[in-house]
Amino acid sequence: MSTEDICEVIVTAADAEWLATFTRRLVAARLAACGQNISRIRSIYRWEGAVEDEPEARVALHTRTSLVPQIAALADAEHPYDVPCVIALPVIAGNPAYLRWVLDSTAEAHGTTG
């Protein structure tokens, strides 16, 4: 097992319930081992020439790096935003038992379970 196999994927959305439902679907499909949802954050960003300041929700998904393209594709297809935030951050170290659990709880990229 290598920590390069695991990442944290951040997704944001305006609707916390939509994001929680999306998270549950990803976990059920074994695309993420878990999602730690924060139902209220404040996002400040530039969009279409204006600086926006809006409430959002955020989830940190723990998953295999190889599954990020599938997660991004689902977000692109289903997310209410034109350009959803989906970014993957590397995991450089962690509790070996937890990292093994993430791998065991997610599907391998070719579709079989780990």
> What tens-digit pLDDT sequence spans the chain (114 residues)?
676 799 999 999 999 999 999 999 999 999 999 999 999 999 999 999 999 999 999 999 999 999 999 999 999 999 999 999 999 999 999 999 999 999 999 998 654 444
User: Residue 4's pLDDT is what?
Assistant: 73
Q: Which uninterrupted H or E stretch holds 70?
A: helix 68-78
**Domain 3-105 falls in which CATH fold?**
Alpha-Beta Plaits (3.30.70)
Q: Are 51 and 45 in contact (CB under 8 A)?
A: yes
Q: What sign results for the dihedral spanned by CA atoms 50, 53, 57, 59?
A: positive
Q: Can you give the residue ranges of every domain in the chain?
A: 3-105
User: Residue 15's pLDDT is what?
Assistant: 97
User: Residue 57's pLDDT is what?
Assistant: 98
| pTM of full prediction above 0.95 | no
